[in-house]
Structure 1
Amino acid sequence: MADKKKKPTRVNARLPRGFVDRDAADLRAQDAMLATIRRVYETYGFEPVETPMFEYTDALGKFLPDADRPNEGVFSLMDDDEAWMSLRYDLTAPLARYVAENYETLPKPYRSYRVGHVFRNEKPGPGRFRQFMQFDADIVGAPNVSADAEMAMMMADTMEALGIPRGQYVIRVNNRKVLDAVLEAVDLGGEENVGKRLTVLRALDKLDKFGVDGVVALLSVKGRRDESGDHTPGAGLDDEQITTLLNIIGWNEPNSGAKSSANDALTVANLKDALIAAGVSDTGADELNDINSMVAAAGYDDGRVRIDPSVVRGLEYYTGPVFEAELLFDVVNEKGQKVQFGSVGGGGRYDGLVSRFMSQPVPATGFSIGVSRLMTALKNLGRLEAAERPGPVVVTVMDRDRMADYQAMAAKLRAALNTDADGNPTAEPVPVEVFQGNPKQFGKQLQYADRRNAPVVIIQGGDEKAAGKVQVKDLIEGKKIAETIEDNAEWREARAGQELVDEADMVAAVRAILARHAGQA
């Protein structure tokens, strides 16, 4: 008996875990948000640059994100020359490589901004994705903390340009030199403790997520166990080390982690005294004092930019001031609890990153906005509603053999509706399309136009063509009229919103309908 032919296996349509699909409304809202950020960055003299999504893995070096998956937290593959390449996990390391390769031709300092997707090979979870977008701005070749102060002020300007009211955000500033000094005070200095220092910094960086108690568990010998039972090993500090660390950065004080202070100058002075008392460097406190003075002189000391020793950035490449843009309004989390929205971006000084590729020191500072997280915040505030765009003008198909005629009509409309009286392109495009589905049932074409939110459809059958006429149907007006008509015969007689015009007057008739509804909007 002959074998029956096997049916082809149907592929299961499924979205990879940790990735998301996004529709037109989301993408248009994102475009509007990115345009606003871009405008602010450009007012500060930054210009765009683009680097590829893949870099050679050794260019990323040891500066990799938290990893609970293989490949050190990045997606990697081997090139045909047996060199390892990885998808970028941020936009900073690729910039460092770009600057090193083009150092002689770039203006110094070099101001640039970049926007694009980055990738993390991590276990996905609620709000944790393997692909997300960042928008960075960096100054390479600026050694003075004036550049860091400018970064903080630019972030404040960005928040307000996006419609986040003053008082509902804060740009918090700390200094990695302060954190390094604190770690030295608890006997974690020296090359032999590099790995342990990074573990401690990553634990401190979880304050917003886990609170002081959760951070203490991550710093301890026992580690932290979450609600699901998963265990994160601790950094191995003893009680005395943990207490000293938290005392110096102020987390053991009342309202620790509140991220505000009545007097930033006093905060810096107290921090400086604590560092001196611990017998470690107070250079970081001096730099914070300089930043505070510059911020105050520019008028940003009204709560927009604050000095806050609780700020920690987990990546090891930071060498000086670090920043965090935090939103202060409440949202409801997945447990139904009210919590502050938290961080939407951060950055800092990374004077050693570009120097890895060169034989000379290259100072740099930068800031990265988490685009998806910021979009979520703006939606919560009701500030991310892109203007609704009308759908396309749809040229319907009455006769398959006359597709050339319909395409000619669409081309004429497309050219006329997308230029002004002087022949210049209009600010917003007016889409025009020929129906490309099965034209057998005309009602299906009108259903399609309705689903596409089309304001107008063009109809020309054989009789209209012979008479040099075209039907122009106003779908928006037709819907209004339809609401007042109950009888089908009356509906057919009314031909709601539909008019017969000469072919030569088709563009004018469509323009009149679009203008009328634009005025009503």
Structure 2
Amino acid sequence: MTDSASSPATSSRPEARGPRGFADRRGRDVAAERRIVEKVAAVYERWGFEPLETPAFEYADALGKFLPDADRPNEGVFAMQDDDDQWMALRYDHTAPLARFAAQNWETLPKPYRRYAYGPVWRNEKPGPGRFREFWQCDADTVGSDRPEADAEIVAMAVEGLEAAGLPAGSAVVKINNRKLLDGLLAQSGVTDAAQKLVVMRAIDKLDRLGDGGVRDLLGKGRLDESGAFTPGAELAGPAIGAIMAFLSAGGGTRSETLDRLSAVVGGSEAGAAGLEELARIDTALKALGVPQDQARFDSAVVRGLEYYTGPVYEAELLAPGSVSLGSIGGGGRYDDLIARFTGETVPATGFSFGVSRLAYALNAAKMIEGAQTVGPRGPVVVIAFSPDDMAHYLAAAGELRRAGIPAEVYLGKAGMKAQMKYADRRAAPAAVILGGDEIAAGQVTIKDLDAGRALAAGIVDNEAWKAERPGQVMVARDALVATVRGIVEASSSL
């Protein structure tokens, strides 16, 4: 006898598994990300930015060699060869596609061109907690203005967007630096090789993760990690390493105080002086825009990993109580040379990107942030189904609610009343509508306020008392269905 477990039909079945770094997201998670995008996009539009959609795929040479820790266009991205033998890759951010779009359409665009974009991006990198290979970003960029005030606007929008996304004031900070400061410092230290400078920037970008000791190793001979893997360093001499570490510790205090300390370190160089002047103008503009010092501050340790930044850079960090960093949830900077890759002419540009998936993940994971808003809307109102003979009444009730703008559904399974109520609870329904035979005959409807029921039931310890009280349950005239449910939904939304 043949064992059915090893039959061809069974052995050929694929294993149900998702690829590493790609997440399935159900209703509440999808709703959380959608809500963040809607709130942040509304901020961008208030500031006069228009939406732009670009394709998921770009030609690999258009994306360029800008991913962190990647030396080839097809490394760090998901790429495929088109039928004309050209390599295409899924976009790894929204900035490189913007540069291509601006280069193609520059003559017809308003200048400066202010646009925002949102959607998924893909990176072929090692996944980890809160770090996915596919995730959403929501960007805003100004193309065609070299004014530091354009950078200040981007920072101010980022601060406003973080609060709009649901973070209470003080639970996030946007940190600002200028790549020109580091350029000036390296020039003073005799570091002029572009490849060596890139190694330095990537070493500094790992400060939060590796600490001072790890960065010192990467600025010098290199670093051996716990797994035994060795990362070659920038091969800087001791004085240069010391100057960079002093530069990294120059932050703290108000923006003006930080500028004074940075001036003492890098003010003697031409590039450093230019960077300080730009930061001073950004500070003036932020003050005029009413951005508090604790929500946007200067931090010399921020360099950002992407190679294309040319001036001011920004990074948004989520903070736990006590101002402990929980990691980056967005960032950006000025990239005046990116469009020149296509046109040969420098076009100034600056922008910021929210990591939508990471922010939603952080809001769910970081429950210690007091005052953070709950994510996602409630589920639909559920109309309980008792008898197939009365299905027309159930469908009519759900349709009436939907026409009034209230999400609703009729339970179309085959379970009993108890299981249907459990179903409504799992759907996070604000209310359940009950149209039994008695209610239909009397022209009435019973409505259970599920949130109120859970709250009231928590204070009733006796089962018989609970049945007698029927917490959160009300019977009203059939024509009062919409008004009654609307009141319950609006009360639930304000919780």
Verify the 8 A CA contact 2:171 2:369 in the aligned structure 1: no
Q: Which amino acid aligns with 2:349?
A: A
Distance 1:259 1:92, change over 3 A: farther
Cα distance in 1 for partners of 2:464, 2:30 equals 42
Question: How far 1:214 sits from its partner (Å)?
Answer: 1.0
Provide the secondary structure at the position in 2 that maps to 1:267. helix
Q: Which amino acid aligns with 2:195?
A: G
Q: Distance in 2 between matches of 1:437 and 1:31?
A: 29
Compute the displacement of 1:468 (Å).
8.3
**1:352 is the counterpart of 2:337:** yes
Instruction: Indicate if the aligned counterparts of 1:203 and 1:219 stay in contact, CA closer than 8 A.
Output: yes
What's the offset of the Cα at 1:395?
4.5
Equivalent residue of 1:214, what SS? helix
Aligned AA for 1:411? G
Q: For the Cα contact (< 8 Å) 2:317–2:325, is it kept in 1?
A: no
The change in CA–CA distance for 1:137 and 1:496 in structure 2 (over 3 A counts) is closer
- Equivalent residue in structure 1 for 2:307, among 282, 305, 316: 316
Instruction: Name the structure 2 match of 1:226.
Output: 225
Once residues 414 and 376 of structure 1 are traced to their aligned partners in structure 2, the CA distance between those partners, rounded to angstroms, is: 31
Q: 1:387 to 1:237 in 2, by over 3 A?
A: closer
How much does 1:121 deviate?
0.7
Shift of 1:308: 3.4
Q: Are 1:508 and 2:480 an aligned pair?
A: yes
| AA aligned opposite 2:215 | V
Conserved? CA contact 2:314–2:332, under 8 Å: yes
- Mapping for residues 204-223 of structure 1, pairs under 5 Å: 204-221=204-221, 223=222
Kept after mapping to 2: 8 A contact 1:259/1:310: no
Cα distance change on mapping 1:496 and 1:485 into 2, 3 Å: farther
SS of equivalent residue, structure 1 residue 295:
helix
What does residue 263 of structure 2 align with?
A: 269
CA distance change for structure 1 residues 259 and 30 in 2, over 3 Å: closer, same or farther?
Answer: farther
Conservation of the 8 A alpha-carbon contact between 1:201 and 1:314: yes
1:396 to 370, 376, 385: 385
- Residue 87 in 1 paired to residue 81 in 2? no
- Give, in whole Å, the separation in 2 of the partners of 1:512 and 1:167: 38
In the other structure, the counterpart of 1:197 is: 197
From 39, 44, 50, the equivalent of 1:41 is: 44
Aligned-partner residue type, residue 367 of structure 1: F
Query: Is 1:246 paired with 2:245?
Result: yes
1:410 aligns with 2:398: yes
User: Could you tell me how far 1:74 is from its partner in structure 2?
Assistant: 0.7
1:8 is matched with 10
How far is the alpha carbon of 1:157 from its aligned partner? 3.1
Bigger CA radius of gyration: 1
| 2-structure distance, mates of 1:456, 1:124 | 41
What TM-score comes out, normalization by structure 1 length? 0.79
The corresponding residue for 1:437 is 413
Q: Write the distance in 1 (CA, Å) between the matches of 2:432 and 2:318.
A: 43
Q: Deviations over 1:312-347 (max 9, x none)?
A: 12222111222223345458xxxxxx9523433221
Alignment RMSD (CA, Å):
3.8
Q: Which residue of 2 aligns with 1:98?
A: 101
Counterpart residue type for residue 105 of structure 1: T
User: Alignment partner for residue 112 of structure 1, among 95, 111, 115?
Assistant: 115
| Alignment CA distance shift 1:405-1:138 (3 Å) | same
Rounded to whole Å, the distance in 1 between the matches of 2:178 and 2:292 is 18
Q: Distance in 1 between matches of 2:179 and 2:425?
A: 57
Deviation at 1:95, TM superposition (A): 0.9
**Secondary structure in 2 matching 1:243:** helix
Q: Deviations over 1:283-319 (max 9, x none)?
A: 3233333333433455547444333333212222111
User: Does the alignment pair 1:182 with 2:185?
Assistant: yes
Match in the other structure for 2:236: 237
For the Cα contact (< 8 Å) 1:141–1:363, is it kept in 2?
yes
Name the residue aligned to 1:385.
374
Relative distance call for 1:273 and 1:517 in structure 2 (3 A) is: closer
Aligned-pair distance for 1:456?
Answer: 2.4
Runs of 4+ aligned residues of structure 1 deviating over 6 Å after TM superposition are 1-4
Q: Which moved more, 1:87-96 or 1:153-162?
A: 153-162
Counterpart AA for 1:238? A
Instruction: Give 2:423's match in structure 1, choosing from 448, 464, 473.
Output: 448
Q: For residue 141 of structure 2, what is the aligned residue in structure 1? A: 138
**Amino acid in the other structure paired with 1:52:** P
Per the alignment, in what secondary structure is the counterpart of residue 102 of structure 1? Answer: helix
1:372 matched to which residue of 2? 357
Q: Write the deviation string for residues 87-117 of structure 1: whole angstroms up to 9, x where unpaired.
A: 1111100111111222222111011111222
Deviation at 1:226, TM superposition (A): 2.5
The residue matched to 1:16 in structure 2 has which SS? coil
Structure 1 residues 519, 270: closer, same or farther in 2, change over 3 A? closer
What letter matches 1:63 in structure 2?
F
The verdict on how the C-alpha distance between 1:206 and 1:449 changes in structure 2, with shifts beyond 3 A counting, is closer
Corresponding letter in the other structure for 1:206:
K
Q: Classify the secondary structure of the residue corresponding to 2:175.
A: strand
Q: Distance in 2 between matches of 1:59 and 1:398?
A: 61
Aligned to 1:288: 279
Tell me the equivalent position of 1:326: 317
The residue identity in structure 2 corresponding to 1:92 is T
Q: Distance in 2 between matches of 1:15 and 1:438?
A: 31
Name 1:335's counterpart in structure 2.
none
Distance 2:273 2:112 in 1: 27
Q: List runs of 5+ in structure 2 lacking aligned partners.
A: none
TM-score using structure 2 length: 0.83
Q: In the alignment, which residue of structure 2 is the partner of 1:421?
A: none
Change in Cα spacing, 1:288 to 1:144, as seen in structure 2 (3 Å) is: same
